[in-house]
Amino acid sequence: MAGEMSQSEVTRESYPLLFALRDALKRRGIKSEPRAFDQYQGPYLRVEGGYKVWYSSEDIMGEFLLIEKGAPPCNDFEISGAEHVFKETESTLQYGVYTLRQAAERIGELAK
């Protein structure tokens, strides 16, 4: 089916930032697993405690991470400690854009 992503496409070579976060969390004793989603949204890191960390890459901002709280389809995103916080309109949710270090620190705080 068009747009699907297979788990075999989620590799360290293709998504080094996502795997670097997994490694950083592992050093903190936090379990996580890279997972495929789709070709448009990309992969995410499933983190113990019910969090998803979405990987994204844009021409202007480069690679970044978004931390989603709870089980989908809640669409509730972390903003505390983020590099940037975006809220496009009154009807859209705000979300924080995290660097690797910021994401590892924030998830470490949430896992306590």
Burial 73-85 (b: 16+ CB within 10 A, else e): eeeebbbeebeee
- With respect to residue 78, please indicate whether it lies within any of the assigned structural domains: yes
Please write the tens of the pLDDT for every residue from 7-18: 888 999 999 999
Q: Give the pLDDT score at 92.
A: 58
- pLDDT of 102: 92
| Angle 4-94-105 from CA coordinates, rounded to 5° | 85
- 25 occurs within a structural domain: yes
Convert the pLDDT of each residue in 20-63 to its tens digit: 999 999 999 999 999 988 777 789 999 998 899 988 887 666 78
> What is the domain count for the chain?
1
**Euclidean distance between CA atoms 4 and 40, whole angstroms:** 8
2 lies in some domain: no
β pairing state of 76-77 and 62-69: antiparallel
Domain membership flag for residue 100? yes
- pLDDT 10s digits, 63-83: 888 888 865 556 677 888 787
- β-pair type (51-58, 32-38): unpaired
Domain that holds residue 92: 7-110
Q: What kind and span of H or E run contains 45?
A: strand 42-47
Q: What is the pLDDT of residue 2?
A: 64
